[in-house]
Amino acid sequence: MNLNQVTVPSLDVEKAISFYQKLGLKLIVHSATNYARFECPNGNSTFSIHKVEKLPHGHGIYVYFECEDLDNIVGKLKKEGIQFEEFPNDKTWLWREARLKDLDGNQLILFYGGENRLNPPWRIIED
């Protein structure tokens, strides 16, 4: 099994498209004002947004985008006007992360996990 796509809700798909293109995602499907799908710059996964009349309540979902050159990417995005809640910093789980929200309040984490993404020191080893 391979994760193919994550979809998040949006009140305004057109505005969300511009936001995600600034992040570096490539628009590959656009269905009027209801839906858009993007290709991630690395790997084979896709990311999409769909129109909703009302956003969900609570914490919602967290979407992680891995960036090998995290600090430089965040610096470039900041210059383009992207607002961050948290700039790159090292976490206790051995990842480096920066946090921001999209225009609809969906939590996005740009991170670099390197070898620790799949193989942290506390990884469960099967017999």
pLDDT digit string, tens, across residues 1-24: 788 899 999 999 999 999 999 999
Per-residue model confidence as pLDDT tens digits over 66-123: 999 999 999 999 999 999 999 999 999 999 999 999 999 999 999 999 999 999 999 9
The number of folded domains in the chain is 1
User: How far is Cα 29 from Cα 38, in angstroms, rounded to an integer?
Assistant: 7
124 occurs within a structural domain: no
pTM: 0.91
Measuring CA to CA, how many Å separate 63 from each of 5, 79, 108? 11, 22, 5
- Cβ contacts of 75 within 8 Å, gap of 6 or more: none
User: Is pLDDT at 127 greater than 80 in this prediction?
Assistant: no
In a domain, 123, yes or no: no
Establish if 126 belongs to a structural domain: no
Q: Which residue has the tokens 């798909």?
A: 13
Q: Is residue 60 situated within a structural domain?
A: yes
Q: What gap in Å lies between CA 67 and CA 112, rounded to an integer?
A: 5
CATH code, 46: 3.10.180.10
Structural domain containing residue 66: 5-118
